[in-house]
Structure 1
Amino acid sequence: MTKWIDISQPLTNDMASFPGDAPFSFELTYKKEETGSVNVGQMTASLHTGTHADAPFHYDEDGQTIDQMDLNRYIGKALVVDVSNSNPITAADLEEITGKGISRVLLHTSLPNNPKRFPDHMPALDPDIAPFLKEQGVDLLGVDIPSVDPADSKDLDTHHALYRNGINILENLMLDQVRPGIYELIAVPLAIHGADGSPVRAVLRPIPGEED
Structure 2
Amino acid sequence: MFRDLSRPTETGMPTYPGDPDVTLAPDATREADGYATSELRTGTHAGTHVDAPRHTLPEGEAIDDQPVGRFAFDARLVDLRPLQPRAAIPPEVLPEPSDLDPGVDLLVLRTGWASHWGSDRYRDHPYLTAAAVERCRAAGVGVGLDTFGPDPTPAASGAADARSSERNEPDGTPAHDALLGDSLPIVENLRALDGLPSRFRLYAFPLRLRGADGSPVRAVAEWAD
TM range (shorter): 0.7 to 0.9
Q: Deviations over 1:29-71 (max 9, x none)?
A: 11011112x1011110111111011111111111111111232
Structure 2 distance, partners of 1:50, 1:117, is 14
C-alpha displacement of 1:130? 2.7
Preserved CA contact (<8 Å) 2:79 2:110: yes
Question: How large is the Cα RMSD of the aligned pairs?
Answer: 1.9
1:170 maps to 2:187: yes
Distance 1:194 1:183, change over 3 A: same
Q: 2:217 aligns with which of 193, 200, 207?
A: 200
Distance change in 2, residues 1:207/1:67 (3 Å): same
Runs of 4+ displaced beyond 4 Å: none
Segment of structure 1 superposing worse, 84-93 or 47-56:
84-93
Which structure 2 residues correspond to residues 51-200 of structure 1 after superposition, within 5 A?
51-86=48-83, 87-95=87-95, 98-101=99-102, 102-118=104-120, 119-138=122-141, 140-152=142-154, 154-200=171-217
Report the Cα distance in structure 1 between the residues aligned to 2:114 and 2:30, rounded to whole angstroms. 39
Aligned-partner Cα distance in 2 for 1:173–1:100: 23
Mapped contact 1:162–1:168 kept (Cα < 8 A): yes
Q: Distance in 2 between matches of 1:113 and 1:80?
A: 17
Secondary structure in 1 aligned to 2:77? strand
Match for 2:201: what amino acid? E
Instruction: Sort the Cα spacing of 1:195 and 1:83 in 2 relative to 1 into closer, same or farther, 3 A.
Output: same
The answer (yes or no) to whether the contact 1:14–1:116 under 8 Å persists in 2 is: no
1:71-119 CA deviation, whole Å, 9 max, x = no partner?
2221142111101235321221112662322112111013133442352
Unmatched 5+ stretches in structure 2: 155-169
Task: Assess if the C-alpha contact under 8 Å between 1:25 and 1:44 holds in 2.
Answer: yes
Percent same amino acid at aligned positions?
29
Q: Which runs of 5+ in 1 are unaligned?
A: none
What's the TM-score once normalised by structure 1's chain length? 0.87
